[in-house]
Amino acid sequence: MSTRVRFAPAPTGFLHVGSARSALFNWLFARSTGGELILRIEDTDAALRKPEFIDAIVKPLQTLGIDWDEGPYYQSQRKQFHVDAVEQLVESGHAYYCNLTRQDADRLAEEAGLPAGYHGWSRDSGLPDGPDCVVRFRTPDDGEVVIEDLVRGTVRFGCKELEDFVIRRSDGSPTFLVANAVDDADMGITHVIRGEDLLNTTPKVMLLWDALDLGDKPEYAHLPLLVNEQRKKLSKRRDDVSLMEFLAKGYLPEAMVNHLALLGWGPPDDVEIRPITEIIELFELRNVNKGSAYFDVTKLNHINGEYIRELPAERFIELTEPFIHGVDADVGWDSADVRADLYALVAPEVQQRVATLSDSVDFVGWLFLDSVEYDTESKPWNKSMRKGKAVPEILDLLHERFADVEWTGDALNTAVSAVGDELGARSQVPARIAITGTNAGIPMWDAVAHLDRSVVRRRLAAARALL
RNA sequence: GCCCCCAUCGUCCAGCGGCCUAGGACGCCUGCCUUUCACGCAGGUAACACGGGUUCGAAUCCCGUUGGGGGUGCCA
């Protein structure tokens, strides 16, 4: 039988990397088994029903190349099925009405000397439905629910630990637990692959499944959570987790996907950076880890850099243009000042050095700016300018020679080295700092030859004046 | 509190009873290359949480301890 899996996010704003990882693993499983992926939006809660939230899920998935075969389906549109299921459960005696609030339940528990929680207070009250009534599922008093999790192995839950949970809110809307069971059954889901934070809800869904007599249950696989540096579950409030924001900063979708695939799973041959087609081929659910994984941006940077370096030069230019022009990044110059020809010339060198597309900005500002700023407190300035040998003389001499030196990259480079030789000092770094503002950067003389002689000489003089 | 899950270098992954004096990658350090920086190359640093079993043999299996995490909603 063909596999059918689903990615079923609640539309709670932007898609975060943890959800993206869940989507990816579902997708990898579907593609590697020749099965199908279904996108289902879990919007049973009215507050979540906002069109812009749907976009926030669909768009990033598309960008990452995670395509689905069916959907998006909306649980809100299948509400009637869920309502029917709740009704069926009430009629069969599996569920009952209850008009107690959470506070009521806690108070009753305290008075009875029981642990906090709902202890089936209204089970046999015979209460009829009413405006303030929820429907609760009658969990078995004993026995256990056993899950054979594909990642975790056998997991057991004692039924007495499960309180009579709410399956229909007082506003009449069924909760996701019912929707889950009904929809997974209707949609023929064979494998439920999702985050470990949902593991505890699984026994409840299985109980509903049996009570509703829905037939064969899907297999479950609970993925390890993605965590932050403090080893806490990635949170939208606290952590940088917006997938789109990463992409906006200049992480390539392919690199992001590659990195995400490496969190909780690894290829048997230890080759980490590789095409998605190979990852699909190698991916096996049974090889997924159990331990949570830290979402390490440092490693992402490395992977991204590797992918960027593999890009054809024209493609790199095309992708970085929005950043260079200040559309997708903050820059200190005007888009009109960007010299496209000059950028095209240096782009391959920039490409060798960046971790993200937006980093490109840092390497080319000196080409578009009239003057550069010097950080005289910085380490490079201190080391190469303040403490460097004969730096004032070097800059003075360069200023002089640059007045009539042939204005080509080779000639400039030769002239600079000659000055260094004459003074018995290292001249390249001081020249670089004076002209570009920093010690780190692309090979520069060919680019400098495209700047105005006067602009370059002025910078030499400006840096000299600060010594 | 109660329930559930987890535990190999700082981080991610490999290891599924002998091939492990534990391998790869990121990071970090050193050297080479070099007009700087980066890339690349060559090295180095660094881990089986602890205690009991089982076994001829355990990072690998079992139990416990400790530590971490998740859940405990009329959110999903």
What is the per-residue DSSP string for A327-339?
Answer: SSS--SS-GGG--
User: Please, what is the average pLDDT of chain A?
Assistant: 94
Mean pLDDT of A422-445: 94
Rounded distance between C-alpha atoms, residue A218 and residue A226, angstroms: 24
Residue among A82, A166, A89, A156 at smallest CA distance from A120: A166
Q: Which residue has the tokens 């991204």?
A: A304
| Ranges of each domain in chain A | 317-363, 379-465
Separation of CA A363 from chain center: 26
Query: Å between A221 CA and B11 C1'?
Result: 25
- Look at residue A378 and tell me whether its pLDDT is greater than 90: no
By CB atoms closer than 10 A (0-12, 13-18, 19+), residue A270 is exposed
Selected from 3.40.440.10, 1.10.10.350, 3.50.50.60, 3.30.460.10, the CATH number assigned to the domain covering A379-465 reads 1.10.10.350
Mean pLDDT of A76-98: 96
Token duo for residue A327: 């559309």
Mean pLDDT of A253-275: 96
pTM above 0.80, yes or no: yes
pLDDT in tens, A114-171: 888 899 899 988 899 989 999 999 999 999 999 999 999 999 999 999 999 999 999 9
- Look at residue A47 and tell me whether its pLDDT is greater than 90: no
Three-state DSSP state, A197: helix
Query: Å between A374 CA and B31 C1'?
Result: 32
Mean pLDDT of A215-239: 95
ipTM of the complex: 0.95
Strand A134-137 vs strand A166-168: parallel, antiparallel, or unpaired?
A: antiparallel
Query: Å between A42 CA and B76 C1'?
Result: 7
- Look at residue A12 and tell me whether its pLDDT is greater than 90: no
pLDDT in tens, A105-127: 888 888 888 888 899 899 988 89
* Minimum CA–C1' distance nucleotide for A355: B38
Task: Please list, in sequence order, all residues whose beta carbon lies within 8 angstroms of the beta carbon of residue A361, skipping any fewer than 6 positions away.
Answer: A323, A324, A329, A331
Rounded distance between C-alpha atoms, residue A218 and residue A195, angstroms: 16
Residues of A labelled as active-site residues: 236
Q: Which of A123-127, A167-171, A397-401, A438-442 has the lowest mean pLDDT?
A: A123-127
Rounded distance between C-alpha atoms, residue A397 and residue A464, angstroms: 11
- Please give the helix or strand (H or E) that residue A168 lies within, else none: strand A166-168
* Minimum CA–C1' distance nucleotide for A158: B3
End-to-end alpha carbon distance in chain A: 77
User: 3-class secondary structure for A59-126?
Assistant: HHHHHHCCCCCEEEEEHHHHHHHHHHHHHHHHHCCCEEEECCCHHHHHHHHHHCCCCCCCCCCCCCCC
pLDDT of residue A149: 96
Residue at the smallest CA–C1' distance to nucleotide B73: A102
